[in-house]
A and B are shown apart, each in its own frame.
Chain A
């Protein structure tokens, strides 16, 4: 989900660490207390039970997609149903 707003400091646990994230027109607040890398506005995060647990690197995501596309496109026609 995409980060649209951030409140707090990654090293200060006495204050709230909250991001607003959205996806497909849904927006929600999630906690940032345990996210691996502090996100910036526009970054994507994986959310679990109200906490962001990972900030995606756009480059890694793109690489992952590319790898899958290569695997799929290298399939010879006759083996496709």
Chain B
């Protein structure tokens, strides 16, 4: 590539665009479908139901401890498919680049995307790149859409949750959210904070294979955190949820950083965790399966669904008290008190 930064030309569809495709995208994301460079990808038809999802990523900073915007995008879309019990198949990659973005940074992100795809066994089969003038974007925005297959007999939905079902969380809370927050200017702190971005489809497939029919609902608690996801599940299922404060897995450094900034871990984003609502007779087995996966080593049973005020989420505190956990209403911001 002759240029060092992204120019408006790179988005115009002409020779500069083609150079970007051949020298950068195909170099790292090569596969027969993408290489054909047709207007649409024709993909094989598999038996079962099709799952289809889309996500856009605008995270700032674009590189952070534990990952980058590219890795986040791939894992995020794979996880959305996995949360419906789908086996991920193909992704599309849409990029909106800001004029002036260093090509080195773009290449790093593309390489990261390629590695994540390879690790997950899926291909990017369609893509698009546009460039906006400097100041009209923020380095890079990514959209990924994904297709997956839900095999016969699998039906994962919050409507299937039943009173008595147990709530499991596959690992520690708040890692991603606090890492991003502390990378912003003025709140920087050193420490072992790292995003937890991770694909969960393998963990989900094991659960579905080993305790078929017992996994009723899956949810990845991204924006809004565990609190918001639990509220959504409670509302959709028409049930109440009770969780135990002491059961919530959280890293000491995440807890410490949250205390300094006045943030609640329950509301911070997670990018490599899932909530699983499982029938109570299989809860222990579900926990064992999760913990035997690298993605779920710190999994825990955190609560239960109950008959009660529909949509209400309650947390029991260590002193024997309780309080209601409401969904997040806006961006979490650091507080002084």
Find out whether A and B make contact in their complex, taking CB atoms under 8 A apart as touching. Answer: yes
Select B189's contact among A27, A48, A49, A81, beta carbons within 8 Å. Answer: A27
A26 engages B320 (CB within 8 Å): no
Interface centre among A22, A23, A26, A28, by most B CB within 10 Å?
A26
Q: Number of B residues contacting the other chain (C-beta, 8 Å)?
A: 13
A24 engages B255 (CB within 8 Å): yes
Closest to B178 in A: A26
Q: Which residues of B contact A25 (CB under 8 A)?
A: 191-192, 252-253, 256
A26 engages B191 (CB within 8 Å): yes
B252 engages A24 (CB within 8 Å): yes
Q: In the complex, what's the smallest C-beta–C-beta distance from A15 to chain B, in angstroms?
A: 21
Given A26-B191, A26-B257, A26-B260, 14 more A-B residue pairs with CB atoms under 8 Å apart are A22-B191, A23-B256, A24-B252, A24-B253, A24-B255, A25-B191, A25-B256, A26-B256, A27-B189, A28-B189, A28-B190, A47-B260, A49-B336, A81-B320
Q: Which residues of A contact B320 (CB under 8 A)?
A: 81
Interface centre among B190, B193, B255, B320, by most A CB within 10 Å?
B190
Report the Cα distance A48→B253, complex, angstroms: 18
A49-B336, A81-B320 given as contacts; is B255 within 8 A of A28 (CB)? no
A14-56 contact mask (Cβ, 8 Å, vs B): 1 or 0: 0000000011111110000000000000000001110000000
Q: Which residues of B contact A22 (CB under 8 A)?
A: 191
Q: Number of A residues contacting the other chain (C-beta, 8 Å)?
A: 11
Report the Cα distance A48→B261, complex, angstroms: 9
Closest to B182 in A: A26
A47-B260, A81-B320 given as contacts; is B336 within 8 A of A26 (CB)? no
A-B contact pairs, 16 of them (CB 8 A): A24-B255, A24-B256, A25-B191, A25-B192, A25-B252, A25-B253, A25-B256, A26-B189, A26-B190, A26-B257, A27-B189, A27-B190, A27-B191, A28-B190, A48-B336, A49-B336
Q: In the complex, what's the smallest C-beta–C-beta distance from B75 to chain A, in angstroms?
A: 25
Interface centre among B191, B260, B320, by most A CB within 10 Å?
B260
Report the Cα distance A22→B252, complex, angstroms: 12
Q: Which residues of A contact B191 (CB under 8 A)?
A: 22, 25-27
Closest to B335 in A: A49
Report the Cα distance A26→B174, complex, angstroms: 15
Q: Which residues of A contact B256 (CB under 8 A)?
A: 23-26
Q: Which residues of B contact A28 (CB under 8 A)?
A: 189-190, 260
Report the Cα distance A24→B190, complex, angstroms: 11
Report the Cα distance A28→B261, complex, angstroms: 12
Q: Which residues of B contact A48 (CB under 8 A)?
A: 336
Interface centre among A24, A47, A81, by most B CB within 10 Å?
A24
Closest to A28 in B: B189
Report the Cα distance A25→B250, complex, angstroms: 13
Report the Cα distance A81→B318, complex, angstroms: 13
Report the Cα distance A81→B336, complex, angstroms: 36
Select B253's contact among A26, A47, A49, A81, beta carbons within 8 Å. Answer: A26
Q: In the complex, what's the smallest C-beta–C-beta distance from A75 to chain B, in angstroms?
A: 14
Closest to B255 in A: A24
Closest to A49 in B: B336
Q: Which residues of B contact A27 (CB under 8 A)?
A: 189-191
Q: Which residues of A contact B190 (CB under 8 A)?
A: 26-28
Report the Cα distance A22→B255, complex, angstroms: 13
Report the Cα distance A81→B236, complex, angstroms: 36
Q: In the complex, what's the smallest C-beta–C-beta distance from A79 to chain B, in angstroms?
A: 14
Interface residues of B in 143-178 (CB under 8 A from A): none
Interface residues of B in 83-105 (CB under 8 A from A): none
